[in-house]
């Protein structure tokens, strides 16, 4: 069997995007990592939120071997993934006004904490209101989004604004509108999305920078180890005991 031409094209496209965000977003990644380190050092808590497939990159940094133990998932029921039936309901919920404020009001998030909001388009009511309300509560807000959508689509929020308009720091994933990297004869729609690959890489780069910043300040980064390596459970138990009041996925 010959190698797939389209597979190679997808890898090339993904690698090209990764190189772009590495080179063009380095300043924003550094700023986001420093903000996370500031929050950890000051006793604050960390949260990540994403709706639909953007939630995958948020989940990727929560309770993760090699990740910061303090990162918590801020979940909005029905929008975390395709487990809701019908799946189209999740998309509809992203457009509901007021849902973000209800979630934040019932969450442990408070002034001095940091929230990473992931939304590829950044145009729906849920991520925009989440950013607005989080900042009003005194949280630092980091947005991970595709800035291309702000010039090629219209906001679905009453303000006319996008996620990027309500963040302290913005990381641009460079993903083109439509999130599809390939097209070929015989297929009538573009396909092969790369947003998950690129957004997850941005998240991990941000977290690595935060660990680097903490070490530079003389603070041991509260990182988790794999439970599948010897001593992993003991290590994680110590970290969770030490930082238990800032970890919400274990209660």
pLDDT digits (tens, 9 = 90+) for 107-166: 999 999 999 999 999 999 999 999 999 999 999 999 999 999 998 898 898 788 899 999
What is the pLDDT, as a whole number, of residue 251?
Answer: 58
**What pLDDT is recorded for position 1?**
58
The least confident of 33-47, 73-87, 161-175 is: 73-87
Residue 90 has a pLDDT of: 87
DSSP code of 157?
S
Smallest Cα–Cα separation from 57: which of 159, 219, 191, 173? 173
Query: What's the pTM value of the predicted model, to 2 decimals?
Result: 0.95
> For 184, phi and psi rounded to 5 degrees?
-155, 155
Residues paired with residue 143 on neighbouring β-strands, in sequence order:
117, 170
Under the banding of pLDDT at 50, 70 and 90, the label for residue 2 is low
- Closest by CA position to 44, among listed 178, 126, 139, 177: 139
Alpha carbon distances (Å) from 54 to 90, 117, 120, 212 = 12, 9, 7, 26
Alpha-carbon distance of 103 to 98, in angstroms, equals 9
Contact 220/44 with Cβ under 8 angstroms? no
* Average pLDDT of the segment spanning 57-65: 96
Confidence grade of residue 82 (pLDDT, cut at 50, 70, 90) = confident
pLDDT band at 3 (very low <50, low <70, confident <90, very high): confident
Q: Is the pLDDT of residue 202 over 80?
A: yes
pLDDT at 180: 96
* Spatial separation of the C-alpha atoms in residues 31 and 58, rounded to whole Å: 18
């Amino acid at each position: 069997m010959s190698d797939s031409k389209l597979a190679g094209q997808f890898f090339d496209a993904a690698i090209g995007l990764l190189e772009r965000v590495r080179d063009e977003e380095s300043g924003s990644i550094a700023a986001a990592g420093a903000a996370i380190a500031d929050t950890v050092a000051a006793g604050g808590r960390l949260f990540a939120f994403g709706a639909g497939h953007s939630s995958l990159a948020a989940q990727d940094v929560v309770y993760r071997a090699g990740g910061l133990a303090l990162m918590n998932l801020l979940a909005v029921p029905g929008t975390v993934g395709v487990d809701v039936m019908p799946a189209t309901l999740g998309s509809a919920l992203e457009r509901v006004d007021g849902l973000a404020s209800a979630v934040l009001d019932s969450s442990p998030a408070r002034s001095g904490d940091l929230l990473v909001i992931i939304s590829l388009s950044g145009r729906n009511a849920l991520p925009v209101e989440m950013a607005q309300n989080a900042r009003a509560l005194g949280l630092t807000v980091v947005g991970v989004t595709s800035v291309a959508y702000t010039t090629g689509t219209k906001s679905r929020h009453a303000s006319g604004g996008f996620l990027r308009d309500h963040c302290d720091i913005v990381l641009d994933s460079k993903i083109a509108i439509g999130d599809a990297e390939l097209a070929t004869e015989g297929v009538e729609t573009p396909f092969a999305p790369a947003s998950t690959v690129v957004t997850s890489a941005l998240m991990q780069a941000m977290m690595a920078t935060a660990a680097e910043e903490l070490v530079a300040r003389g603070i041991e980064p509260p990182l988790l180890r794999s439970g599948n390596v010897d001593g992993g459970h003991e290590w994680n138990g110590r970290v969770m005991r030490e930082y238990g009041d800032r970890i919400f996925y274990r209660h």
